[in-house]
Amino acid sequence: MPAPKSHIVVIGGTSALGLDIAKAAHAAGCQVTIAGRGAERAAGVATSIGAGVTGVHIDLEDSASIGPALREGPPIDHLVITAIMRLATTVKDFNVKEAERLVRVKLVGYVEAVSAALPRLKPTSSIVLFAGVSKSNPYPGSTMISTVNGGVVGMTKTMAVELAPIRVNCISPGLVLDSPIWKTILAKGPNPVVDAMAAKTPTKRLAMTEDVIAGVFALLDNKAINGIDLELDGGIQLV
């Protein structure tokens, strides 16, 4: 659990897993800043989380929004980046424009945001980036998602070296059953992919948002964890 009053910035904190991380940090007494696309929307979501939460506009596809939002302001103890651009493309029907946007958000955008925030990070600060188990557990159509998530693991290790003593880690959830995207899918009825994954997973249980929050907080907090990729997949890659 991050220390009360520590300042945590969540890029992607305007919805889904990022928003739940921001809410949990606020409940723990942290000073919270969330970022997503649209100043008004980010401010509105921030207000809905609670008093003192700040919302800022960052579009990881737009350099002009990244520097101004991150370079100046109070020191940052913890930086979390969850943002992703969702796409549906396959190798056979490859959508180059969508693929480039995803690369812009998750590979260039993540590093650009860390770079912009550097003046506000302290030697004791920590960073958590979001990858995903698709990096090594692919499914048909996951080529671009698997590629960028693998890239996030790579940048985590290089940044842990380059930015030392700042700690940099990433987290690779498997399918997060109660995340909004999967709730929407499951609202349409039972899903064979979800059922098959749950049956195959050694724990017989898929990751939940509370597991992701606990994992992020452990990475932010534990001063001995550095340069790792925390896989929250119930051990599915073992079988």
Q: Which residues bind ligand NAP (CB under 6 A)?
A: 12, 14-18, 36-37, 58-61, 82-86, 105, 130, 132, 173, 175-176, 179-182
Query: Is the CB of 79 or the CB of 83 nearer to ligand NAP?
Result: 83
Shortest distance in whole angstroms from residue 24 CB to ligand NAP? 14
Q: Name the closest residue to ligand NAP (Cβ).
A: 36
For residue 85, the minimal CB distance to ligand NAP (Å) is: 5
The secondary structure of 35-55 as a DSSP string is: EES-HHHHHHHHHHH-TT-EE
The span from the CA of 157 to the CA of 22, in Å, is: 25
Which residue number, 15 or 28, has a Cβ lying nearer to ligand NAP?
15
**Nearest distance from residue 63's CB to ligand NAP, in Å?**
11
Q: How far is the CB of 201 from ligand NAP (least distance, A)?
A: 13
Q: Among all chains, which residue has been given the structure tokens 């997973």? A: 201
* Cβ 33 to ligand NAP shortest distance, Å: 13
Within a 13 Å sphere around the CA of 4, how many CA atoms are in the beta-carbon half? Answer: 3
Cβ distance to ligand NAP smaller for residue 60 or 166? 60
Rounded Cα–Cα distance for residues 216 and 222 (Å) = 10
Phi, psi (5° rounding) for residue 46? -60, -45
Query: If 0-12 CB within 10 Å is exposed, 13-18 middle and 19+ buried, where does residue 48 land?
Result: exposed
Cβ atoms 93, 145 nearer than 8 A? no
Q: Give the nearer residue to ligand NAP in terms of CB position, either 2 or 55.
A: 55
Q: For ligand NAP, which is the closer residue by CB, 17 or 123?
A: 17
